[in-house]
Amino acid sequence: MSERVQRLVIVGGGTAGWLAAGIIAARHQARIAAGTLSVTLVESPNVPIIGVGEGTWPTLRGTLQKMGIRETDFFRECDAAFKQGAWFAKWTTGEEGDGYYHPLMLPHGFADVNLVPHWLHQQPQTSFCDAVCPQGELCDENLGPKLITTPEYDGLANYAYHLDAGKFAPFLQRHCTTKLGVRHVLADVDEVEQAENGDVTAVVTPQAGRIEGDLFVDCTGFRALLIGKTLGVPFRDCSDILFCDTALAVQVPYADEDAPIATHTISTAQSAGWIWDIGTPTRRGIGHVYSSSHTSDDQAEAALRAYIGPAADGLSVRKIPIKAGHRETFWKNNVVPIGLAAGFLEPLEASAIVLIELSAKLIAEQLPANRAVMDIVAKRFNDVTSYRWGRIIDFLKLHYVLTKRTDSAFWIDNVDPKSVPERLQNLLHLWKYQSPWFFDEFDRLEEVFPAASYQYVLYGMQFRTEVAPEDVVANDRLARRILDENRSMTQKMRARLPRHRQLIGAIKEYGLQTI
C-alpha cells in the first residue's frame, strides 16, 4: 500500500486527455527526467473527438504558458481568436435591443469599492458593464485586447480564447510528446484489470498489450470506461435544474476573408434554449442548445437556420446529446475522470475546458506520493471538485431564473422555484438587499465565478438591489473618482487598440514578443 505513485496513465485523448497530460507533465518535469514518474496517454485510433469546446476562460493563458507553449504558435496552429466576454441577447425580455455583456475584466477599482450601490443610485442610463469596465465597448467595436507589441500572454484587457477544438488536441499532442516526455500509445482498450480492493491495475489493448499504472485518469468521454463502466460511480443528473439536453452544431464560413471577427461569444436566447455564435479567423461556430421537452429537433434546426440566414443553405448540422450532470464521486480508488467522463453541462459560460484545467492542475499539485495517502488526496479533490460543479450549475441557472420572458413554456418553467437550487434561492434573496461583492457570499479561495461575474449577470438582466442612502454616502467620492477613471480608460483603450482581425493577422505574420 505504500508503493510510490510512479506510473500515471491517461485513457483517452482529445482536449481533456492532452490538456491533462500537458498540465501534469509540465508540473513534474524533474521527476519525468529522473525516471521516477511516467505519463502515458492511451488513445483509440478509432474514436472521434466531440470537438465542440471552442470557448475558453482566461485561465488557459496561464496553462499554456506553464506548459511552455508559445502564444504565437497557438494562434498560428489552432485557428485561435481572442475572447473578451459574452454578449447575452434577448435573455431578459426577448425584445429587440435586449442584451448585456459578461466581460472578462473586473469592475475598475473592484478591490477598493463596490460600485453597484453608486451605479443603482444614479438611476443609470449607462449599462452596468459600460459604467464600470471598458470591455463592453471594446467588444462593440471589435477591438483586440492587446497590441502586437504586447508580450505573449499579457494584455491591456483581460482575455481568453476562441479556438478550433479539432486542431487544438493535435497541437497539444505534438507539444506533449516532443517537449514534455508524454508517451503516446494508439490502442483500443478492450479490458480493464482490477486488484482485490477495486483499484485499476492495467488496461489491456490488442495493439500494445497490457499497460500498467498506479493512477489512472479517465478521459474516455461519455463512455466513462473506468469511472463509470468499471468502478460503477453513479451519475448525478441535474436536468431538473438545467433543462437543455440537445445541441445542433454547424460551421459557417465568412462571406469574405476580411469579415470582422467578433471578440466575444454571442449567446442569443430562443423560445426553448439559446444559440451560440463563436468567431474564429476562418469561420463561425454556431449551435443551438435546447430542451427537447420544449421543442422538436426540426423546430430547433429551423430556428438555427433562421438565425444563420442564407449562409446556412447546404450546410450539414451535427446533433450532440447533453446529459446535464456529473459523477457523484470524482476520484474513486485510483481513478479520476476529467472532461466528459466527469460530467457535462450546457456550454453557456464555456465551463468545459476550465473544468479540465482545474481538475488536472489539482491532480498535478496534489499528486499522491503513494497509495497509502491517495484516499486522503482523493477526499480533498472530491470536496473541491463537487463544490466547483455545484457553483457552475448555480451560475448557469442564474441566467435563466432572472428572465422576465413569459413567451414560452421553457422560460416559464425555468423560473419555477422547484427548479432553482436552494443555495441560489438564498443568494437571490440576499441580493435583494445587498449586492454581491468580494467574499460576501463566496467562501472558497479559488472560486470558479468571482462576485464580479454575478454582478454583471444580475444587473445586466435588470435585477434590482435596494440601496440604503448611507451605503452610497460612505464611499461616494471614491466611487465617483473610479467611475470617472473608467470613462477615461475606456476612451484611451478605444483609441489605442487594433481591430481584432488585424491583430490576429499581425500575430500570424510577425509573432508576439516572448516574455
Instruction: Say which residues have a Cβ less than 8 Å from residue 457's Cβ, sequence separation at least 6.
Output: 88, 100, 102, 395, 398, 399, 402
| Residue 18 located in a structural domain | yes
Q: Are residues 314 and 361 in the same domain?
A: no
Number of structural domains (the chain) is 2
| Residue 224 located in a structural domain | yes
For 205: left if phi > 0, alpha if psi spans -120 to 50, otherwise beta; the answer is beta
Q: Are residues 294 and 186 in the same domain?
A: no
Is the torsion defined by CA of 351, 360, 165, 327 positive or negative? Answer: negative
Output the pLDDT for position 53.
57
* CA–CA distance, 247 with 481 (Å, rounded to integer): 45
Instruction: Say which residues have a Cβ less than 8 Å from residue 153's Cβ, sequence separation at least 6.
Output: 61, 62, 64, 65, 71, 515
pLDDT in tens, the chain (515 residues): 468 999 999 999 999 999 999 999 999 999 999 999 999 999 999 877 665 558 999 999 999 999 999 999 999 999 999 999 999 999 999 999 999 999 999 999 998 999 999 999 887 789 999 999 999 999 999 999 999 999 999 999 999 999 999 999 999 999 999 999 999 999 999 999 999 999 999 999 999 999 999 999 999 999 999 999 999 999 999 999 999 999 999 999 999 999 999 999 999 999 999 999 999 999 999 999 999 999 999 999 999 999 999 999 999 999 999 999 999 999 999 999 999 999 999 999 999 999 999 999 999 999 999 999 999 999 999 999 999 999 999 999 999 999 999 999 999 999 999 999 999 999 999 999 999 987 554 555 567 899 999 999 999 999 999 988 887 888 899 999 999 999 999 999 999 999 999 999 999 999 998 86
Q: Are residues 229 and 335 in the same domain?
A: yes
Q: Domain boundary at 271, 301, 320, which?
A: 320
Contact criterion met (CB below 8 Å) for 435 and 107: no
* CA–CA distance, 177 with 271 (Å, rounded to integer): 46
Q: Are residues 273 and 287 in the same domain?
A: yes
SS (H, E, C) 226-243: HHHHHCCCCEEECCCCCC
Contact criterion met (CB below 8 Å) for 91 and 349: no
Q: Are residues 214 and 188 in the same domain?
A: yes
Q: Are residues 316 and 337 in the same domain?
A: no
| The model's pTM | 0.95
Q: Domain boundary at 339, 365, 391, which?
A: 391
| Residue 138 located in a structural domain | no
Output the pLDDT for position 1.
46
Q: Are residues 228 and 200 in the same domain?
A: yes
Q: Are residues 311 and 170 in the same domain?
A: no
CB atoms within 10 A of CB 270: 22
Q: Are residues 183 and 303 in the same domain?
A: no
Question: 275: domain range?
Answer: 246-320
Output the pLDDT for position 493.
98
Output the pLDDT for position 513.
86
- Given 83, 90, 146, 397, which residue is catalytic? 83
Q: Domain boundary at 320, 350, 370, which?
A: 320
Output the pLDDT for position 3.
83
| Residue 111 located in a structural domain | no
CATH number at residue 356: 3.50.50.60
432 is a catalytic site residue: no
Q: Are residues 263 and 386 in the same domain?
A: no
Instruction: Say which residues have a Cβ less than 8 Å from residue 508's Cβ, sequence separation at least 6.
Output: 75, 76
User: What is the phi/psi pair of residue 177, to 5°?
Assistant: -80, -30
